[in-house]
């Protein structure tokens, strides 16, 4: 697949930002898709923003995986701040992206400054659930992968990268992740511009988005 490169024609106003939303259940492969999309575009033309950065600080309430804190409910995410940041980015302004610590369930006092680029790729489980965010997303892909695969991927990630136990991951998946997926995540398919259910459709969606972005940058 040919990489999208900057040209002399790509001198558009930085305010003309195209926002791409990659949505799907936990473990669906949306972050991998987003990174593959970004990897096909010249680095100075694209930025990435993750929903996970906008978790609300839950350190004072956390009582164990699968406990009283439901991290998969929309209320666990600071969508007001995320929406404000995406809107600012679309209008050519740098944003201060929060840093969330998954080990302590707290938000750091530090942040990452993200300078505007012509393309912004965002990924998350609930981006299309929020009407305000939907209005800011120009093109979206929902990655629909069967539950067992999603669980196995989440299990591996949370144990290796987020310091969880296998038992805790299973308890949280059965008690919170699956119910929230059925209630909030899966219904977003109706709002997505593209739906990808297998590798062939994932590759097709990636090609379609790259064609759209190449036109945007020309």
pLDDT digits (tens, 9 = 90+) for 18-59: 999 999 999 999 999 999 999 999 989 999 999 999 999 988
C-alpha–C-alpha distance, residues 112 and 191, integer Å: 30
CA distance 193 to 208: 11
Question: Residue 126: helix, strand or coil by DSSP?
Answer: coil
Query: 14 falls in which pLDDT band (50, 70, 90)?
Result: confident
Q: Which of 9, 103, 104, 96 is nearest to 54 (CA)?
A: 96
Q: pTM of this prediction?
A: 0.87
pLDDT tens profile 62-115? 777 767 888 899 999 999 999 999 999 999 999 999 999 887 888 988 999 999
Residue 153: pLDDT over 60? yes
Kind of pairing between the strands at 46-50 and 119-124: parallel
Domains and CATH numbers, the chain: 18-60+74-217 (3.40.50.300)
Pairing of strands 95-101, 106-114: antiparallel
CA 68 to chain centre: 24
């Amino acid at each position: 697949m040919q990489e999208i490169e900057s040209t002399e024609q790509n001198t558009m106003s930085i305010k003309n930002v195209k926002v791409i939303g990659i949505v799907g259940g936990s473990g669906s492969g949306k972050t991998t898709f987003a990174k593959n999309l970004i990897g096909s575009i010249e680095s100075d033309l694209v930025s990435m923003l993750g929903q996970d950065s906008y978790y609300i600080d839950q350190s004072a309430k956390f009582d164990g995986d699968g406990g009283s804190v439901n991290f998969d409910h929309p209320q666990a995410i600071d969508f007001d701040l995320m929406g404000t940041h995406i809107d600012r980015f679309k209008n050519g302004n740098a944003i201060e992206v929060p840093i969330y610590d998954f080990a302590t369930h707290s938000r750091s006092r530090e942040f990452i400054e993200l300078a505007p680029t012509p393309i912004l790729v965002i990924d998350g489980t609930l981006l299309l659930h929020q009407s305000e965010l939907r209005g800011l997303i120009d093109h979206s892909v929902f990655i629909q992968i069967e539950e067992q695969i999603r669980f196995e991927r989440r299990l591996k990630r949370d144990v290796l990268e987020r310091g969880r136990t296998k038992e805790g991951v299973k308890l949280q998946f059965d008690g919170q992740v699956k119910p929230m997926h059925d209630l909030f995540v899966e219904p977003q398919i109706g709002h997505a511009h593209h739906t990808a259910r297998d590798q062939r459709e994932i590759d097709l969606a990636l090609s379609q988005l790259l064609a759209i972005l190449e036109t945007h940058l020309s």
